[in-house]
Every structure is written in structure tokens, then in C-alpha cells.
Structure 1
């Protein structure tokens, strides 16, 4: 039986960098949004067409817990969730527009019975591919990352990976696969929001 979840590298709305990965007919297939087109509408349509049970997305799906508190304290963290600190991720507040879009998408897809869970490909690289250098910094490093990643996967890539966004979508998919097998690491506080790798 094929893994029936989708991995997503979530990018700017019109940049053409939002990318998804899912097993189809025994291979890992990758889809990428088009530059200048609404990535949110594209992703929502793709998810509703593919009907994964769960989407593992590289985007904050919650805000720091201080925003759900009635009274703030001087030591409240207004910028980071515990999970962000544990994986050294960017603050959901610094990337506010992307965070708001992701939370909206989560709400929309939940109405269709599809769950969105948060992952973080950068932490997957630190955890699973620590021996490699140049992640997202050196385009020449992409083939080495793709080859090493392929060695960790139970499915082959449908086609060679073209960019880091596609690699991150596969890493998001892999975090979902690890989660389904009970091998994932959960970062953060469940009441505030977890990152699954």
C-alpha cells in the first residue's frame, strides 16, 4: 500500500516556489506552482484532487502561545514558539503573511477532512544528512543531496529534482513517512504547536 500523504514546501504566493511531493503509482512525484500564479489556489486544488490523508507542510501553523493568553507577562515570548527555538526556525511573526496563509489553508482543508501538520525540512537535513554541506546555499550541492536523500527513501523519484524547493517537498514527505511509521521526532509543546521531523 502506498503512503497516502503529501509533503509541501510552502513559498511566497506568486513566486512559483510552492512545491508538493506524493507517492503516485509507486514513485515519488513532484509538482511545483507557476511563477505569477496564486500558489494557495494551486495547492488547495492539488490537495483536493489528490486527496491525501495528511499534508506535511513547511510553514508555521500556529502562533506563539502568548497570543492565546488573556494576560501577558514581562517574560512572555511574543516571537517564537518552543518548537521554533528547538529547531532554530524563523519566527512565525517574522514571516507573518506566510504564516497567515498557512493557517487559513489549514482551516480550509480541515473543512474537507484533510489534516495539515507542520514540518521543517532544514531540521530533517540536520538530522538525516549531516555529512553534506551547502544546503540551499550552493546549487552545485543539489545532486549530492538528492542522491543521498534517494538512498533514504522507500520510493524512487519520478524525475530528477530540479531545485531546492523540490528537495524540501520530498523532505517534508519523508517527515510524514517517518511520522506514519512512528519514527519521527516531535519538537515543541503540543498545546502551542508541534514540528514533526
Structure 2
């Protein structure tokens, strides 16, 4: 049972939508930030307490390559990275504040020796549960997803997810598990930014 990996659904700073999944005492446990409180401070505190070695984060960790590695041309993509297009994700530029917070978090944690890798739970859902309906659309679908997740996981999930943020945290953690066991799919250009699912 790997208790060194953490999955995070990274939400808006004060929205109470940042959720974390990590193995503790042989089971996958869930944590979630509180609405109105600083999710970044809470997350840094939780990471210091749980001591993961690798974090799989649901947020962009780089910008389109045009901003760092090539001259501007009319063909330059100013909005999307190759990985964003491959997994049908939002532009890191559109969610600029969240992207900046995620890159800052990655930098802070790298200084502590903690690796932060990018994942995308929506793509994991498409890969793992193409037969299920209602993902992020209705709370009524949560029990079906909780059952499907339990069947997928290598460890027990004693408390089922209470919302879609927690489902995404579990999917982020599962991407880390897949990566650890050489089952993950990598999307994008390594020189620009890779999404691991």
C-alpha cells in the first residue's frame, strides 16, 4: 500500500473546493478545505503533516510554450498547451489565477523535495468510466461513482466521496497509482508540460 502519493483537486482559494486523497492506515482517506478559509495555507499545513513524496495536482503547472521558448508568430498558440488540447482541458491562461497558485505551490514544494506532477481527473473519468453517466452533473450520480471507484482502487475507501471535488481528488490519486505501476498515459509535450493520467 503506497502512502507516499497524494491526489489533489485544486480549487479556488476561498471556495472550500480543494480536496485531497491519500492512503493512511491502509485506506484511502479524504480531506477538504473549508469555505472562506485560505485553501493554500491549509494545503501546505496538511502536506507538512502527511509528508507525501509525490503529489498529483489537478491544475496547470506550466504555460503554453510560446511564452518561454519560441518567438511569436501568427501560428503560435497563445492559449493552449499541447496537453490541454489532447485532454480537452481549459486554457491555463483562462484560469490564470489558479495556474499561478499551482505553479507557486509546485515551486514551494520542490524546495522541500516534494514532486508535484500534473493530472486531469476529467480525462481519467473518460478513460476509466466511459459507461457511467452524470460525472460532475448531479449529486445523484455520486453513489454510482463511489461504487465504481471502490472497485477500481487497490485499497479500501471507508468514507465515500461527499462531492465531485472529492471524486476528482480520488481520481488524481489513482493517476499517481497508475503512474507508479507503469499504467499511466502521458499527454502533451515534455518540453511544454505533461498531463499524467
TM range (shorter): over 0.9
* Deviation readout 1:104-163 (Å, 9 max, x if unpaired): 000001010001000000000000000001100111011101101110101111312100
The alpha-carbon deviation at position 184 of structure 1 amounts to: 0.1
Match of 2:144, SS? helix
Whether the aligned pair in 2 keeps the contact of 1:65 and 1:192 (CA below 8 Å) is yes
Partner Cα separation in structure 1 for residue 2 and residue 194 of structure 2: 25
TM-score, normalised on structure 2? 0.98
Match of 1:21, SS? strand
Partner Cα separation in structure 2 for residue 143 and residue 17 of structure 1: 19
Q: Are 2:153 and 1:153 aligned? A: yes
The answer for the alignment partner of 2:35 in structure 1 is 35
Runs (5+) with no aligned partner, structure 1: none
* Deviation readout 1:6-29 (Å, 9 max, x if unpaired): 000000000001000000000000
TM-score, normalised on structure 1? 0.98
Partner Cα separation in structure 1 for residue 182 and residue 70 of structure 2: 36
Partner Cα separation in structure 1 for residue 70 and residue 193 of structure 2: 18
Partner Cα separation in structure 2 for residue 69 and residue 26 of structure 1: 44
Whether the aligned pair in 2 keeps the contact of 1:142 and 1:164 (CA below 8 Å) is yes
The answer for the alignment partner of 2:55 in structure 1 is 55
Partner Cα separation in structure 1 for residue 153 and residue 69 of structure 2: 42
Partner Cα separation in structure 2 for residue 17 and residue 156 of structure 1: 23
